[in-house]
Structures are given as C-alpha cells and as structure tokens.
Amino acid sequence: MEVPYKTSIQEQEEKDLVTSNRKLAHLQICLENDVQARSVKTGLNDISFVHKAITDLNLTDIDLSVEIFKKKLDIPLIISGMTGGHNFASKLNYYLSEAVDETKIGMGVGSQRAALEDSNLRESFEIVRKNAPNSLIIGNIGSGQIALGLSKEEFEEIIDMIEANAVAIHFNPLQEAIQIEGDTNLSNLHSKISNIIKNTRTPVIAKEVGSGFSLSDINDIQNMKFSGIDIQGVGGTSWAGVESIRANSSILKRTGEVFWDWGIPTALSTVLATRYFKGVIIGSGGVRNGLDVGKLLALGADVAGMAIPFLFATQFNSSEPVVQLVREIEYQLRLCCFLTGSKNLGELKKAPLLITGKTAENLRLYGIDPKEFLNR
Ligand SMILES: Cc1cc2nc3c(=O)[nH]c(=O)nc-3n(C[C@H](O)[C@H](O)[C@H](O)COP(=O)(O)O)c2cc1C
C-alpha cells in the first residue's frame, strides 16, 4: 500500500539517488556541451618563459620528480577530483587510476558524499586505491556537507575508503547557488572546518572548483590550518555554466549565464597563494598542456592539477589514452626546462618570466611588480 506521506527511509533513498544522479548529469553535461570559461582566461596566456638558446643540458636527464604529502610523483601532475558514486564513475575511476599507477602522478577522487549516503557506492571510489596502491590519492568532500554538520567519524570514513594521503574540502558557493538542490546555508563554516582539521590524521586541502581563491580566502585558509591549497581558478571548466545547463528555472539558467566567468583567474590566484600561504600549492583551473604546467610551477606552484581533459581522454574504455596524455604533458614540461636551462623543477621555479597584459596589471594592483619574475 502506498503511504500518503514520505517515510524517512523513502526521503533518505530519494536524497541518495539525487546525489548519484546529479553526479551522472554533471559528467554528461561536461561531455556534451562546451562548458569552458568564455571571456575570462586563466592568465597563463599573459605569461611567457624567456627562451634560452644556448644550453649544456641533456633533455633526457632533466628531473621532473617532486614530493607532495610524502609521496613521490614522477611528474608534478594531479588528476583533479571528478567523480565517483555511480556505475559510470566506476569505469572512469578505474581507467584513470590505472593510468595514475603507470605514470606515477597523483589523483583526486570526486565528492565522496554519495558513498557516505549509500555504502553500495563505495566501490566506485575504492577501485582507485586498489588500482594505484602506492600513488598519491586525495579524498574529496564539499564544504556544504561540513556546514550541514558532517561528523568527524564521517570524515574519517572518507579517508579510510581510499586510504587517502590527503583530503580536499571543496569550496563551491557559486556552483551551489546555481544548482537546483544546492547547499547555500554556509553558516558557521569557518569554525566547523577548523574543528574537522584540528582532529584529522591526514593533511587537508582547500579546493575551489573553477572560481579560484582571493587574498582574503588565502588568509582564511592559512588561519584554518589547511596543509594545501588547490587553486582551481577561472579560465577552465565553469561550474556556473554546468549548473546553468542543468537548471530547471529561468532564474537559475540566466544567473548561471551571467556568472559563467565569475572568479579569480588561475595565474593571479596562484601568485597570491605563493605570497600568503605556507603549504602545498596546487596550480589548477584551465590547465591544458605541459606549458601551462611549467608556467604555474614557475609562478610558484608545487604541482599542477587538471580535470576535464582527462575526462575526455579516458573514452571510458581504456587507460591508454590517459597515459598518452600524461606522456604528452611530461614531454612539454621537459621542454620548458630544456629551453630555459633548468635541469630540474627547482631551477624552473627560478626561470625568468615575462608577464604582460591583464595579469601584469592585476599583479600591480596587488602591489606585486611583474618585473620581479623577469629579473630573478
Ligand atoms: C565531470 C566533473 C566532475 C567534477 N566533480 C567534482 C567533485 O566532485 N568535487 C570537486 O572538488 N571538484 C569536482 N570537479 C571540478 C574539478 O576538480 C576542477 O576543479 C574543475 O573542473 C576545473 O578544472 P578544469 O578546468 O581542469 O576542468 C569536477 C569536474 C568535472 C569535469
């Protein structure tokens, strides 16, 4: 017999289904639409290395390795957290993690919220650790979940599910505000997050999803004692854009269009983090090749993150194209070193950079002279 009101079990089941279906819709929208930033760029286009034609280096001897959260990466690259929590995601995570294991890069999983809500969905995350037993694997949960009262036990479960080497808390107020069922009550978020961080056994990273972090955010991130910051600035995938396509009301649809390019460009946000944050800096948001990675490292990031190109690379049937993409990025980064006379990433970080255009203008407004990067 059908009951005229929802039982709490029904309500919970519907909520779980909503989370899982939403993650699937996100994947589909990203695969079928152009959801990249429109008129605002990462700022990496304003930055060039100074070419060095005369070098003593052997291209193949250049060392691209780096140590992040006590894990050695052969290439300073992390696949940014994308998915998990439905069958389709299992496939994606399977092939991505196979490639991660082979190429010795790092990987973040998507929000583990769905697996906290329904333990049947844990497998789509657990597969990552199974396939990449020794790799840097980063867990993921939304700040909205923490505002809603995520417990310390649940946070521990997130770590255990994938034996996470670090956990990213993603901050995505714009996305939530355009999302049909978004969490927009972020009351007391600072103190709730400080409390989670105080009691946790792994490093915790503050991660955006495509709007970057401001100077004021970076100070907050430092004060809340995060161990890392994953910039995810403007210039790549727009989550206002994705949610606007998914929205079912004209207000949300049009607001998503208006705010499509909202936020701090990746290059600017990364430089601000290098000045005001002490911890691991992941340069990300619109990273599309090894030259972008090289520029972010030269701006001061420790490692770079990239999401949507890996989604396209998997083709959902093999890890081989993902490995190919990583090899391509590796070669381009190696060339950045070769053509600037840098024998390792430490030297690349000191390579002179020409910064012009809007990025130079923005840096000056923050009191940072772009010439510092040229004359070092
Ligand atoms: C299909 C898809 C799903 C995503 N899901 C998550 C998520 O669950 N948690 C998260 O922190 N970021 C998520 N992201 C955001 C990415 O980690 C990244 O911040 C953003 O896409 C910008 O990077 P990009 O320009 O390289 O794509 C997702 C991205 C994609 C493409």
What's the CA gap between 315 and 138, in Å, rounded? 23
pLDDT at 22: 84
Secondary structure class of 67 (helix, strand, coil) = strand
pLDDT at 13: 47
Asked if the structure places residue 91 within a domain, the reply is: yes
- Joined together, the tokens standing for residue 258 give 């208006």
- Joined together, the tokens standing for residue 73 give 């990466």
Between the CA of 30 and the centroid of ligand 1 the distance, in Å, is: 10
Q: Read off the pLDDT of residues 143-162 as tens digits, 9 standing for 90 and up.
A: 999 999 999 999 999 999 99
From atom 23 of ligand 1, which residue's Cα is the shortest distance away? Answer: 285
* Three-point CA angle 355, 360, 362, nearest 5°: 150
- pTM to 2 decimal places: 0.95
Query: Which numbered atom of ligand 1 lies nearest the CA of 27?
Result: 1
Asked if the structure places residue 331 within a domain, the reply is: yes
Pocket test for ligand 1, best of 237, 246, 261, 289 (most atoms within 8 A of CB): 237
Asked if the structure places residue 12 within a domain, the reply is: no
- Joined together, the tokens standing for residue 208 give 């955006």
Asked if the structure places residue 121 within a domain, the reply is: yes
Between the CA of 172 and the centroid of ligand 1 the distance, in Å, is: 10
pLDDT at 87: 77
* Tokens 């017999």, residue located: 1
Between the CA of 255 and the centroid of ligand 1 the distance, in Å, is: 20
From atom 13 of ligand 1, which residue's Cα is the shortest distance away? Answer: 82
pLDDT at 17: 57
pLDDT at 125: 96
pLDDT at 15: 52
Q: What residue ranges line ligand 1, CB within 6 angstroms?
A: 26-27, 30, 80-83, 110-111, 140, 168, 170, 207, 209-210, 232, 236-237, 284-287, 306-308, 311
Asked if the structure places residue 241 within a domain, the reply is: yes
Question: Which residues of the chain are modeled with pLDDT < 50?
Answer: 1-13
Q: What is the DSSP string of 120-171?
A: GGTHHHHHHHHH-TTS-EEEEEEHHHHHTT--HHHHHHHHHHHT-SEEEEE-
Asked if the structure places residue 6 within a domain, the reply is: no
- In terms of residue numbers, what domain contains 135? 32-374
Q: Read off the pLDDT of residues 192-232 as tens digits, 9 standing for 90 and up.
A: 999 999 989 999 999 999 999 999 999 999 999 999 999 99
Between the CA of 82 and the centroid of ligand 1 the distance, in Å, is: 5
Domain of residue 253, CATH code: 3.20.20.70
From atom 2 of ligand 1, which residue's Cα is the shortest distance away? Answer: 82
Q: How many domains does the chain have?
A: 1
User: Taking the CA atoms of the chain, what radius of gyration do you get in angstroms?
Assistant: 20
Helical spans, DSSP H, in the chain: 8-32, 87-103, 113-117, 123-131, 143-147, 152-162, 173-178, 189-198, 215-223, 239-246, 250-258, 266-276, 290-299, 308-314, 320-338, 345-348, 357-365, 371-374
From atom 6 of ligand 1, which residue's Cα is the shortest distance away? Answer: 82
Between the CA of 80 and the centroid of ligand 1 the distance, in Å, is: 6
Kindly report the number of other CB atoms within 10 A of residue 258's CB atom.
11
Asked if the structure places residue 7 within a domain, the reply is: no
pLDDT at 77: 98
Query: Which numbered atom of ligand 1 lies nearest the CA of 111?
Result: 8
Asked if the structure places residue 10 within a domain, the reply is: no
Residue 16, CA distances (Å) to 19, 173, 184 in order: 5, 21, 18
* Beta bridge mates, 283: 304
